[in-house]
Amino acid sequence: MSEDRNASGRAPKRGEEVDVLIIGAGPSGSVAAKHLSAAGLSVVTLEQGNYPDRDKFPGRRPEWELVSQRQWHPNPNVRDMPRDYPVDTSESDINPLMFAGVGGSATIYAGHWTPFLPSDFRVRSLDGIADDWPFTYEDLLPYLEQIEWEVGVSGMPGNPAYPPKKAYPTPALPIGKVGRKAAEGLDKLGWHWWPGTNAMPSQPHNGLNACVRRGTCMTGCPEGAKSTTDITYWPAAIKNGAKLVTGARVRQIEVDDRGLATGAVYIDQNGREHRQKAKTVIVCANGIGTPRLLLLSASKRFPDGLANSSGMVGKRLMMHPFSAVLGIYDEDLESWRGPFGQTISSYEFYETDEKRGFMRGAKWGAMPGGGPLGATSFVGTKVFAGPTAKVGDMWGNNLHEMVDRRFGRSIVWGIIGEDLPEDSNRVVLDPTMTDTDGIPAPKLLYKVSQNSHDMLKFHVARCLEAVQAAGAIETAVVHQMRDTGWHLLGTCLMGDNPKTSVVNQWGQTHDVPNLYIFDGSTFPTSAGLNPTATIMSVALRQTTRMIAERRNQKAA
């Protein structure tokens, strides 16, 4: 990678035309901003949220659990903050979860670092369903290995669930009593497990502090130890001369008479409209925000939305149906302690086995149970109560007994099943709902498929066997939790054929040669894994190509 830096040595002035405009400062946009600016391109990034203030993360305060159920809830419709946009979920089985800010939704992610496997890029070839990606695991591997060093991943090398690869930059975090107990069950059954890989270094790395296992990862890390790009990418990008504009909500990408993108119109936090001109535009606004913006950018020349001649913009939304299995043990597991990433993971049933009655598979990640309020809820959602509970079931003496039994003694297995793409699962513009700037909100039309339902049912049954093999005295299951749309993928399909896909393998839209999409919306399939590692690696691969081809880039 070239390090010749922005030749001018200064950030672009407001309104000045730049080489590259990036929309969204989450994981993919940040990778692009840092590396493009390091290569000497002038870069402006527009981010609708603000720069996170670590002092405001509630993890060190006694009210942490209380506020995590509202102000820090991952569902923007629950959080209802001014910088969030609402999402109409009235016709969706799953609620999307996201966060607006520099660092994007990773600000509130659990930091599970789980790159896609070789089979995830060849679903059509191996299983005869969905699609192959235009590139392979091996094509992506060098970029993944570079990203892991930039991100500061901690982990134990040698996981047999993956082909051999470069070691992680920092040793694995302690798996704690929770991880040890979870591994015990899998060990007895002879099933795969491995110490968790997490986007949290176990020693200081690239501006990050070492994880101190506070366990409040999903409400922002007050230690500055969970890897988010406000720490790992933006200081370098800004030093390179990249300009970051926060509180900038983009309402339209503009095009010229030749059908080339000329920049974007955005609204600042005071409601004023601005125009940012650019030779090239990259959209990195996630699997809901990106198709929303392309649909909002419809024009006379692009009446069905920008880059949508295939009709695929917004289609194939994948959100990973998710189930949780709670195991309670008759011993102190200190299960409020972190990391609230994965202490261990299991890929035992990850690959397809048609005898199971469904295609593809799921990853399991073992997480701690949280504080005393967490004894009855999962990530702010009161799910373990059951829909037919009576007041006395969860309260009175039963509350004390339940906290006595569960608090500090629980393990939560999160099961992420591969969500297969279907055109009917999609993002459209809502006819009436708007955000605080009056811009139409997205609406989701999404149904959990029979394959996902069968898959989760199978995995929950196996997971219960593992939980019981470790000696659980009580178990609880939540099938297909509603508040679990952390992974927003697939709505701007990547492919070689312009008639059936939105972008090529380099993220370049087929219809508008200087408009790119670098986020997870381009993923042809979703894998059964947390996608941030792959989102960032794909963004780096595409960014590297953009730098190499900069002289050949067609611009407005």
Partner 1 sequence: MSKPATAKLSADDRAIFGAIADFLVPKTAKMPAATEVGVAAGGIDDVLKFRPDLIEDFHRGLEKAKGLTGAKAAELLFETDKDAFGAVSLAASGAYYMSPKVRQIIGYPGQESLTYDNHETPDYLTNGMLERVARRGPTYKPTPR
The reply to whether 175 sits near partner 1 by the rule CB under 8 A is: yes
Helix or strand (DSSP H, E) at 259 = none
Cα(115)–Cα(361) distance, integer angstroms? 15
Across 178-214, b (16+ Cβ under 10 Å) vs e yields: bbbbbbbbbeebebbbbbbbbbbbbeebbebbbbebb
Rounded to the nearest whole angstrom, what is the least distance from the CB of residue 173 to partner 1 in the complex? 8
List binders of partner 1 among 371-400 (CB under 8 A): 371-373, 390-391, 395-397, 399-400
Task: Point out which span in 5-13, 335-343, 483-491, 515-523 binds partner 1 (CB under 8 A).
Answer: 335-343
Out of 17, 93, 145, 187, point to the residue binding partner 1 (CB under 8 A): 187
The reply to whether 298 sits near partner 1 by the rule CB under 8 A is: no
Cα(542)–Cα(540) distance, integer angstroms? 5
Out of 126, 189, 439, 469, point to the residue binding partner 1 (CB under 8 A): 126
Nearest alpha-carbon partner for 452 in 475, 431, 422: 422
Asked if residue 339 has a cis previous peptide bond (ω within 30° of 0), the answer is yes
Out of 45, 105, 119, 452, point to the residue binding partner 1 (CB under 8 A): 119
Backbone angles phi, psi at 358, to 5 degrees: -150, 165
The reply to whether 212 sits near partner 1 by the rule CB under 8 A is: yes
β 43-47/243-246 pair status:
parallel
Question: The dihedral of CA 465, 467, 471, 476: what is its sign?
Answer: negative
List binders of partner 1 among 400-429 (CB under 8 A): 400, 403-404, 407-408
The reply to whether 165 sits near partner 1 by the rule CB under 8 A is: no
SS3 assignment, position 536: helix
Question: Between residues 71 and 252, which has the closer beta carbon with respect to partner 1?
Answer: 71
The reply to whether 121 sits near partner 1 by the rule CB under 8 A is: yes
Question: Between residues 291 and 368, which has the closer beta carbon with respect to partner 1?
Answer: 368
List binders of partner 1 among 217-246 (CB under 8 A): 223
Out of 351, 437, 454, 465, point to the residue binding partner 1 (CB under 8 A): 351
The reply to whether 337 sits near partner 1 by the rule CB under 8 A is: yes
β 194-195/261-267 pair status:
unpaired
The strands making up 474-478's β-sheet, listed across from edge to edge, are 194-195, 344-346, 362-368, 410-417, 322-328, 474-478
Question: Between residues 143 and 193, which has the closer beta carbon with respect to partner 1?
Answer: 193
Task: Point out which span in 166-174, 295-303, 322-330, 532-540 binds partner 1 (CB under 8 A).
Answer: 166-174
Question: Between residues 188 and 457, which has the closer beta carbon with respect to partner 1?
Answer: 188
DSSP-derived letter for residue 102 is T
x/- string (CB under 8 A) for partner 1, residues 98-117?
Answer: -------------------x
Residue showing tokens 């996201």: 98
Q: Are 252 and 438 in contact (CB under 8 A)?
A: no
Q: How far is CA 146 from CA 37, 152, 222, 541, in A?
A: 17, 10, 26, 10
Question: Between residues 16 and 138, which has the closer beta carbon with respect to partner 1?
Answer: 138
Task: Point out which span in 10-18, 160-168, 248-256, 312-320 binds partner 1 (CB under 8 A).
Answer: 160-168
Rounded to the nearest whole angstrom, what is the least distance from the CB of residue 524 to partner 1 in the complex? 15
> Binding-site residue total for partner 1 (CB under 8 A)?
73
Give the other-Cβ count within 10 Å of 361's Cβ. Answer: 24
Out of 19, 47, 65, 419, point to the residue binding partner 1 (CB under 8 A): 65
The reply to whether 513 sits near partner 1 by the rule CB under 8 A is: no
